[in-house]
Amino acid sequence: MSIQQTIIIVKPDGMTKGLVGQILRSLQEHNLRVIDHARFQLEREWVENLYDQEKDEIYFTEVVEWVSSAPVLLLKIEGNKAVDLVKRRIIGRYPEGIRGQYSENWIKNVAHAPDSSESALRELQLAEPIFERRRMIDESRFSGKMVFALTGMSECGKSTVGKYLDSRGIARLKIVKIFEKVRDKLASDEELYTFLRQQEERDPYALWDAFIDELVAEMDRLNVNAVSIESLYGGGLGPYLKQKLGRHFCIVFLDVPLEIRLVRQMQRENLPGVESARKYLLPRDEIKEKSGIPALKEIADEVVDNSGTLEELYQKIDQLVRKHLQ
């Protein structure tokens, strides 16, 4: 296995055509992961350095002007044989890959990727100050703030924890309500889940950045520095928030054995027995499993065992809050 790092720059035409989502899905299909990213309008001098080895080509001036003309997305990629997979299989050269499908000409050709490990190293070094700038901006924006994202399977106690945190001054927010505000600004006549699906297919990073904007705005409106958000489902939002918010974001996975959750479901719904609870609970669990919630346990900052008493749960949450707000 040859683990490599490389970079993709989604050019202005790739951004306009909504190809970010397709590129991200292709990376996932090839078992490659994004370990850093930044969305900026590049300075002309930086782009000239990027294409320095092509400065004598007839298209040099035109490509520099085009790539620096509007915001682009830089993706730092890691994985087995990443350089070759990204260049040959994902971005491609006409008529292969995404370039083959969407390029208009040699200049407006959707995305850039280095064609060798040496070029990848050089371009990653060139891009590192841009990634660092993005991290500094995000750190400054969330300085003094904390977001607890609550997740877990059905009947695990997310609402209980959210209400308890709210009683302790950590405002309880619903993720779906925040996304509704995003939808209302961008496409108010769209049904919410249709809107989310379309935006994630086109550019999930833009959607999740808009989510962050609304989250910050709501924290400012409430005049609070700490909130809980629920319920965090699987997919890319959780990992993206971890990358963007860093130490200001904590995924809390509430872990409860199925047998205990069935009993709690039976008691809460006043059901006649565990089998009745199973028919009620398992279809909901299946939906959560398909959404990727079990995978969130692997990246959770805190896994809280909620198989005991309510008092024990509150004690664990108090300890968790003290740890992350100190």
- Give yes or no for a contact between 59 and 107, defined as CB atoms under 8 angstroms apart: yes
CA 30, CA 84: separation in Å to the nearest integer? 11
Choose, from 30, 37, 112, 324, the residue flagged as catalytic.
Answer: 112
Could you tell me the two tokens for 175? 């993720």
> Residue 112 catalytic?
yes
- Give yes or no for a contact between 237 and 243, defined as CB atoms under 8 angstroms apart: no
- Give yes or no for a contact between 12 and 67, defined as CB atoms under 8 angstroms apart: yes
DSSP for 143-180, please give it: TT-EEEEEEESTTSSHHHHHHHHHHTT-EEEEHHHHHH
CB hemisphere CA count around 67 (13 angstroms) = 27
CA 279, CA 282: separation in Å to the nearest integer? 6
Catalytic residues: 112
